[in-house]
Amino acid sequence: MTSSAQFNSLPLLSVKPALDEALNRVGNALEQYFAGDAQNAALLQEAAGESHRANAVLRMLSLDGALVFCGEIEKLLGEFAADTLRPSPMHHEVLQRARGRCECHLIVCGDHTGRCLRPLEGAWGLHRMRPGGPLALSNVIGQCERCHRASGS
């Protein structure tokens, strides 16, 4: 006889609209920040506050996978708030395209096999695929700090 725990979705259904709204507010504040209002620290504070509230709800519901994801968002918000350098629009586009993960492959840095999946956080950077080529979205990949160092970028 097998035993399987049943997931009770009722608690999640009751908080889902508020959770969706909080995460939408995080996204909207970040869009405004990256669209040119990067000097407005209040936007990052708003996003961090909403993310923190969403984390508390996820923790209450024991949704560990979603909690890890939102925790990473909160961590990135803290890094943006602490950093005085504004990410370029190219950094923003690469970060979105890469979904927050390193895009490096073995042929670029030789530090791993296949695609590196470390997060793009801290001192991550852009790497030109064709040296001397244009600094364009079609010619750059986002590399985590380790791959960026290993490839000599």
Grade residue 38 by pLDDT with cuts at 50, 70 and 90.
low
- Mean pLDDT taken over the chain: 80
Grade residue 84 by pLDDT with cuts at 50, 70 and 90.
very low
Q: Is the model's pLDDT at 106 over the cut of 70?
A: no
**27-35 average pLDDT score:** 80
Cα separation of 77 and 87, whole Å? 13
Q: Is the model's pLDDT at 152 over the cut of 60?
A: yes
**111-127 average pLDDT score:** 80
Q: Is the model's pLDDT at 83 over the cut of 70?
A: no
**Rounded to two decimals, what is the model's pTM?**
0.50
Q: Where are the domains of the chain?
A: 11-82, 89-150
Cα separation of 151 and 142, whole Å? 12
**128-139 average pLDDT score:** 86
Q: Is the model's pLDDT at 5 over the cut of 80?
A: no
Q: Which residues pair with 126 in a beta bridge?
A: 142
Alpha helix (H) residue ranges in the chain: 10-34, 41-60, 64-82, 89-98, 106-109, 145-150
**77-88 average pLDDT score:** 67
Pick from 153, 134, 133, 130: nearest CA to 143:
153
